[in-house]
A and B are shown apart, each in its own frame.
Chain A
Amino acid sequence: MTDAASPQAPTRQRSFFDQFELDTRLLGMIGAFAILALTFHFVTEGRFLTPRNVFNLTIQTVSVALMATGMVFVIVLRHIDLSVGSLLATCSAMMAMTQTVVTPEWLGLGLNHPATAPIAIAVGILTGAVIGAFHGWLVGYLGIPAFIVTLGGLLVWRNVAWYLTRGQTIGPLDENFQLFGGINGTLGETWSWVVGGLAVAAALWALWNSRRNKVRHDFPVKPLWAEAVIAAVIAVAILGFVWLLNSYEIPQARLERMFEDRGEAMPEGFTQGYGLPISVVLLILVAIVMTVVAQRTRLGRYIFAAGGNPEAAQLAGIDTRMLTVKVFAIMGVLCAISAVVASSRLTFHSNDIGTLDELRVIAAAVIGGTALSGGIGTIYGAILGALIMQSLQSGMAMVGVDAPLQNIVVGAVLVLAVLIDIIYRRRTGDRT
């Protein structure tokens, strides 16, 4: 039995767009992003939506977007984390010291040993997890407000990082480590197509699986043609993105050097696109994992339940204090992953790495529809939020807007985005 067939079901004719059962908030954000991008493209006379600029835009977004996915959990649980930029710096410093001092000298592995990058990354992730869990313990078990704990952390970890490196810039970083930096680590055209193809296959499988699940339980499903249209849009979007990044060509001089390094001569007329940056693939993987955690695991369910009604969660037997520790630990791990991307993009660790990132990360989550009152937020929203912020910033820079005015605009957009979100929720009766 479906609702449509039962006598009590609403008789209202479903409109063309209703048949797709789309998330209107997601559509709104994509629409806003599209208008923004097209406006910049027009104003810069076609320089904004070029393969080169899209490539740069994506690799600039990764670091903030990674942390924003974790900030969604923190804010959904009615907390805040002001220390992410500083925590990123401490993780970055730990990893930089590991790969420039610990592995080459103490362990005697020398420079650019294959084991260096994995060891350094493991050290960074452990650092992030431990510090994050410590923040969570202070908040959850000792009852200190997260605002205070992480405001303290903002000062503490920025300067712990300073002591770890004695205030020096540490670099150059390990060659394999630098693969996560963006332009120094891309998949090339062939592998990008392979990854794009796999992504399309995975998306189609997910759509089909979800439909099959609904049918099995006799739940109403979308018409098949609507499903097909959605599948086609997703496939075109993924493959179009790969095509765009593949058409950003590696400069000839750089290609020649690559062939020289391998001791080969470059064939006449050889060209190669950059393709997908490894950092972007990393972000996509993190986004998928975080979305699955949010929607399909008990942990995610409890984070949203405790954010919606902490008392109800406790009465249901959920240990909200341990939950707080876990959420801040996840945030710490994401700061560490973000530190890998940020420091390898620079090719060195610097003292001011991640400065003011806490504000960008919180802004990305909030622009992406995460409600500071708790219980509401999505991973894809936060990533789109980060992308919108970064597009605004680099678009204005391309147009030639002064740096102070850029910040004024970004600040105003943040407030405006939240206002629009509040109005949207009032209209749809989805109060927070």
Chain B
Amino acid sequence: MSNDRPDIDRPDIDRTGTPLIELRDMQKSFGGIHAVDHVSIDLYPGEVVGVLGHNGAGKSVLMKMLSGALPRDGGEIYVKGERAVINNPRDARRYRIETIYQYLALADNLDAAANLFLGRELVTPTGLVDDARMEAETRKIMSRLNPNFRRYSAPVKALSGGQRQSVAIARAVYFNAEILIMDEPTAALGVEETRMVAELIDELKRQGLGIFLIDHDIHQVKALCDRASVMKNGRLVGTVDVHEASEDDLLGMIIAGKKPGEPGGAEEVLGAAVH
């Protein structure tokens, strides 16, 4: 696990300026079920905000509205204080919002370079796809992110989980994302690969990116995030500073849907579970 890393390189986040992202009153229903019910979260430069909750809590739906993969029923998105129009993935990319999906969203039959540039291919002056240049660019960025990566001409289905993950991350990094959405980026990875992703997240933070990290793993959230927003049944339970909240506090928010100190909160639920 990576939660025993010392917290030395974690500067305080400046939350006095304009947030990178403000999600205001976001709403989404599927056939009468409120998947996301009036949720507001903000994200500052250099900050990692964990988005927590059980399956079906609405965290992925909320993030998909930000990345343009799902249209929203209501609410507004502000990017650096300006109201943003995000109706599809291309719109989101224009605001430098990049997403790394849980199932990686790679086309298995294509190689690393084709996946990295999917939808944004480099072309020659005659308008043909410039595979050689794309592979050269891919080699450049991969030598930074995953120096052991060698298999540039293999379809990505032949790659390991970690190699696939590095292709997905390279896609976000290459296009100079300012806002990164990571949906359980370490779910398919081993210990060593998880550590590499954690280091990368720290590196991106230092560069001033804002990151939303969807995760189940509380240890991971404690280790990687600055704040955590917990969702339950489509509603936002609350947003807390992970350095002030204990793991039990977070668990209570996830399970009981109560903020620390509220009646019926973590202490009682966990107490009941133990006894």
| Chain A positions near chain B (C-beta within 8 angstroms) | 3, 8-9, 213-214, 216-219, 292, 295-298, 300-302, 304-309, 311-318, 375-376, 429-431
9 shortest A-B CB distances, which residue pairs? Answer: A308-B109, A316-B119, A375-B109, A308-B107, A317-B90, A312-B105, A305-B107, A317-B89, A296-B128
Q: How close is B28's CB to chain A, nearest CB, in angstroms?
A: 17
In the complex the two chains form, what is the Cα distance from A318 to B157 in whole Å?
21
Contact of B89 with A315 in the complex, beta carbons under 8 Å: yes
Q: Roughly how many angstroms separate A37 CA and B1 CA in the complex, as a whole number?
A: 63
A317 surroundings in chain B (CB, below 8 A): 88-90, 93, 119
B69 touches A292 (CB 8 A): no
Contacts of A308 in B (CB 8 A): 107-110
Q: Which of B84-108 contact A (CB under 8 A)?
A: 88-90, 93, 99, 101, 103-108
Interface range, B side: 35 or more
Q: 7 extra interchain contacts, Cβ-Cβ under 8 A, other than A297-B128, A317-B119?
A: A8-B150, A301-B121, A304-B107, A308-B108, A313-B119, A317-B93, A429-B158
The answer to whether B129 touches A301, judged by C-beta atoms less than 8 angstroms apart, is: yes
Residues from chain A with Cβ under 8 Å of B150 in the complex: 3, 8-9
Flag whether B114 is at the interface (Cβ < 8 A): yes
- B114-158: contact bitstring with A at CB < 8 Å (1 yes, 0 no)? 110011010100011101110110000000000010100001011
Q: List 14 A-B contacts (CB under 8 A).
A: A8-B150, A214-B132, A216-B132, A219-B132, A296-B129, A297-B129, A307-B109, A308-B107, A312-B107, A315-B101, A316-B105, A316-B119, A375-B107, A375-B109
A431 touches B132 (CB 8 A): no
A325 CB to closest chain B CB (Å) equals 18
B99 & A315 in contact (Cβ 8 Å cutoff): yes
Known: A317-B89, A317-B93. A312 touches B106 (CB 8 A): yes
Q: Mark B157-174, 1 if CB is under 8 A from A, else 0.
A: 110000000000000000
> Which residue of chain A lies nearest to B156 when distances are taken between CB atoms in the complex?
A308
Query: Chain A nearest CB: distance from B270 CB in Å?
Result: 38
| Complex alpha-carbon distance, A298 and B101, angstroms | 23
B174 nearest CB across to chain A (Å): 13
CB nearest to A432 among chain B residues: B109
A8 to B157, CA, bound (A): 22
Residue of B nearest to A296 (CB): B128
CB proximity to A under 8 Å, residues B3-47:
none
Closest Cβ of chain B to A432, distance in Å, is 8
A8 to B147, CA, bound (A): 10
Q: How far is the CA of A315 from the CA of B111 in the complex (A)?
A: 17
Q: A305 contacts B155, CB within 8 Å?
A: no
Nearest CB in chain A: distance from B88 CB, A: 6
Interface pair B155/A430, CB less than 8 Å apart: yes
A271 to B67, CA, bound (A): 71
CB < 8 Å neighbour of A309 from B93, B107, B132, B148 = B107
Shortest CB distance A129–B (Å)? 21
Q: How far is the CA of A314 from the CA of B68 in the complex (A)?
A: 10
Q: State A5–B114 Cα separation when bound (angstroms).
A: 25
In the complex, which residues of chain B have a beta carbon less than 8 angstroms from the beta carbon of A431? 157
Task: Name which residue of chain A comes closest to B92, CB basis.
Answer: A317
